[in-house]
Amino acid sequence: MKVAILAGGKGTRLAEETHVRPKPMVEIGGKPILWHIMKTYAYYGFKNFVIALGYKGEYIKRYFVDLCHMSKDLTVNCDNGHVQVHEGNSIDWTVQLIDTGIETLTGGRIKRLAPYIGDETFMLTWGDGVSDIDLENLLRFHRSHGKLATLTAVRPTARYGHLDLVGNQVAEFSEKPQTKEGWINGAFFILEPGIFDYIDGDMTQWEREPMERLARDGQLMAYKHKSFWQCMDTFREKHILEGLWRSGRAPWKVWDSPRQSARTIHDVIYAERMPLREPVGT
């Protein structure tokens, strides 16, 4: 199963960073946020990536070419420039880097990836958000309902302190996540190839007509993730993620945790569909 990642936007709200590099390459703890996202998928066994490039896509290409070499031992012949790459110490990912246009909208980028994804179920996310979502539970939920699309519904962290007022008196003050507010789209999709028929072309925004039509057709389901999720749209959010990483308490760093489930990805993919209680990511 392939993992598609949209990494082509301009990230204008992080302009001080993104005037020199694309937003997915903005670093948290010395590593691009794109690397953090891919590490999460790889932890669950999903290591076949298709990345949709756009703005400053050459930066991302250069990063992965360098990563391929920098993660291994090398012998360099300075006389003729030959580089011998040794086995071991490698990152066992396959990464397809696809130019999908500078101005192409999200739906158009997804549709341009269709030839590289093929006629199979695939995962999709944005290149600017991290989570401690349990991808095994997400996949199991998707397999259980048989619809074309599953999105991950999350409750965002409150930007300001939440107040419960009784008249002019503050009955409760909280800086906790917005558990009293509605759910939003946190990406981390699982999709069937039939969704490509819902996308008209380059100027289609995935979050508008395609998702609205999928919902009207009864083909869009929501997996409720009640644990950590955070996007990186602003410098404030970047600082939140950086602070969590430096504290050693980054919730999305699941790859440093022992796996609690004995199931394999193969078991999840080919498990018989069965009714499930509402799953909660951990």
pLDDT in tens, 202-245: 999 999 999 999 999 999 999 999 999 999 999 999 999 999 99
Domain ranges of the chain: 2-270
Distances, alpha carbon 51 to alpha carbons 60, 101, 177, 189, in Å? 9, 12, 31, 15
**CATH class of segment(s) 2-270:** alpha beta
CA distance 176 to 158: 7
> In 3-state terms, what secondary structure has residue 222?
strand
Give the burial string for 144-155 (b: 16+ CB within 10 Å, else e).
beebbbbbbbbb
**Predicted pLDDT at 260:** 47
Tell me phi and psi for residue 151, to 5 degrees. -110, 160
**Can you give the pLDDT at residue 10?**
87
Beta bridge partners of 220: 149
In this structure, the strands spanning 122-126 and 94-99 are unpaired
The list of the chain residues with pLDDT below 70 reads 71, 88-90, 158-164, 168-181, 258-282
Average pLDDT, the chain: 86
How confident is the model at residue 278, as a pLDDT? 41
Q: What is the pLDDT of residue 268?
A: 40
3-state secondary structure of 242: helix
Rg over alpha carbons for the chain, rounded to the nearest Å, is 20
What is the pLDDT at residue 35?
Answer: 97
Amino acid 171: pLDDT: 67
Q: What pLDDT is recorded for position 134? A: 97
What is the torsional sign of CA 155, 251, 281, 188? positive
pLDDT digit string (tens) for 194-204? Answer: 999 999 999 99
